[in-house]
Amino acid sequence: MNKSTQYNDTATGTWRRYLALMLAASVALSSSMMTSAQVPRPTAAAPVAITPRAPEIAASSYILIDAATGHIIMEQNSDEALPPASLTKIMTAYVAEYEIDNGNLTLDDQVFISERAWRTQGSKTFVDVNSYVRVEDLMRGIIIQSGNDASVAMAEHIAGSEEAFADLMNQHARRLGMNSSYFVNSSGLDDTGETNLMSARDLATLARVKILEHPVHYRMYAEREFTFNGIRQSNRNTLLFRDNTVDGMKTGWTTPAGFCLVASAQRDGMRLISVVMGTASEEARAVETQKLLSYGFRFFETHKLYDAGQSLESLRVWSAKENNVAVGVENEVWLTIPRGRAGDLVATLNTEETLRGAIEQGQVLGTVNITLGDEVLYSGNVVALQGVERGGLLKRLLDALTLFFMGLFS
Taking CA atoms, 54 is separated from 69, 113, 276, in Å, by: 20, 47, 15
Instruction: Please report whether residue 267 resides in a domain.
Output: yes
Average pLDDT over residues 32-59: 62
Considering the domain architecture, whether residues 234 and 275 belong to the same structural domain is answered as: yes
Which are the catalytic amino acids?
Answer: 86, 89, 146
pLDDT tens profile 140-191: 999 999 999 999 999 999 999 999 999 999 999 999 999 999 999 999 998 7
pLDDT of amino acid 41: 44
What's 366's domain CATH number?
2.60.410.10
pLDDT confidence tier of residue 17, bands split at 50, 70 and 90: very low
Q: Vertex 334, ends 329 and 337: CA angle to 5°?
A: 135
Considering the domain architecture, whether residues 127 and 212 belong to the same structural domain is answered as: yes
pLDDT tens profile 102-140: 999 999 999 999 999 999 999 999 999 999 999 999 999
Considering the domain architecture, whether residues 254 and 223 belong to the same structural domain is answered as: yes
Considering the domain architecture, whether residues 125 and 262 belong to the same structural domain is answered as: yes
Instruction: Please report whether residue 201 resides in a domain.
Output: yes
pLDDT of amino acid 162: 96
pLDDT of amino acid 406: 66
pLDDT confidence tier of residue 80, bands split at 50, 70 and 90: very high
Contact of 358 with 390, CB cutoff 8 Å: yes
Instruction: Please report whether residue 287 resides in a domain.
Output: no
**CA distance linking residue 64 with residue 70, whole number of Å:** 9
Instruction: Please report whether residue 360 resides in a domain.
Output: yes
Considering the domain architecture, whether residues 275 and 391 belong to the same structural domain is answered as: no
Considering the domain architecture, whether residues 186 and 329 belong to the same structural domain is answered as: no
pLDDT of amino acid 285: 98
Residue 253's beta-bridge partner residues? 259
Tally of structural domains, the chain: 2
Percent of the chain at pLDDT > 70 equals 85
pLDDT tens profile 246-279: 999 999 999 999 999 999 999 999 999 999 999 9
**CA distance linking residue 162 with residue 390, whole number of Å:** 62
Please give the distance of CA 208 from its chain centroid, rounded to a whole number: 6
Could you tell me the residue range of the domain that residue 214 belongs to? 61-279
